[in-house]
Amino acid sequence: MAPAPYFISAFLLLLFGFVTFRVLVRRDYLKRGRLTPLSVFLEYAVFFLWGSLAYLDLLSAPSISRVGPILRLIAWVLIIGGVGITLFAMARLGIRRIHGLDSKVLEASGLYGVTRNPQIVASGLAVVGYALYWPSWHTAGWAALYLAICHMMVLTEEEHLRSVFGEQYARYCARVPRYLRLRRQRPDDR
């Protein structure tokens, strides 16, 4: 895909993601305390369109990866591991909570005791694996777009969880990083 249409598509998707997560989904959480079927559909639409950008890039580039065998192996480990961990985290959370329909219990153990967003982190590993397997400026932009879209979604979800769980969620946030802890936490950091 040529640079101009790609950047225009990415900008429009970012705008659609902002309206979906920071306006519509946020409104549902504030007014109803849960997501409506329309909001769930729009969330899926944002990620479907985001995923489609990668395929548009593949149509304009050779379909065979141009990286060496070691990098290809690392990429596949990240892709398979990321997808596997994502599915495990989603199964542990449950379909109702994934779709914002049930917020009665704060999940804070297992993977959720390491990161508040294991699905985002694990899916991010798969995205990085994909970008390593088919390296290009488009896939680098595609990965950055993933981060931006997910961050908007996470901010909206955190606002909702803070209103539902209050002090319990604040303690959880103080103990568990939003994504990953990049440095060892010292006792005086708590």
CATH number 3.40.50.300 is the correct assignment for the domain at 3-189:
no
Burial 41-58 (b: 16+ CB within 10 A, else e): ebbeebbeebeebbeebe
Mean pLDDT of 76-98: 89
Q: Percent of the chain having pLDDT more than 70?
A: 86
Mean pLDDT of the chain: 88
Q: What is the pLDDT of residue 67?
A: 84
Contact between 53 and 142 (Cβ < 8 Å): yes
Mean pLDDT of 139-154: 94
Task: Report the distance separating Cα 83 and Cα 77, nearest Å.
Answer: 10
Q: What is the pLDDT of residue 168?
A: 95
Which residues, in sequence order, are CB contacts of 90 under 8 Å at separation 6+? 98, 119
Which residues, in sequence order, are CB contacts of 152 under 8 Å at separation 6+? 17, 18, 21, 22
Domain locations along the chain: 3-189
Higher pLDDT, 12 or 103: 12
pLDDT digits (tens, 9 = 90+) for 109-145: 889 999 999 999 999 999 999 999 988 888 888 999 9
Q: Is the pLDDT of residue 20 over 90?
A: yes
Q: Is the pLDDT of residue 101 over 70?
A: no
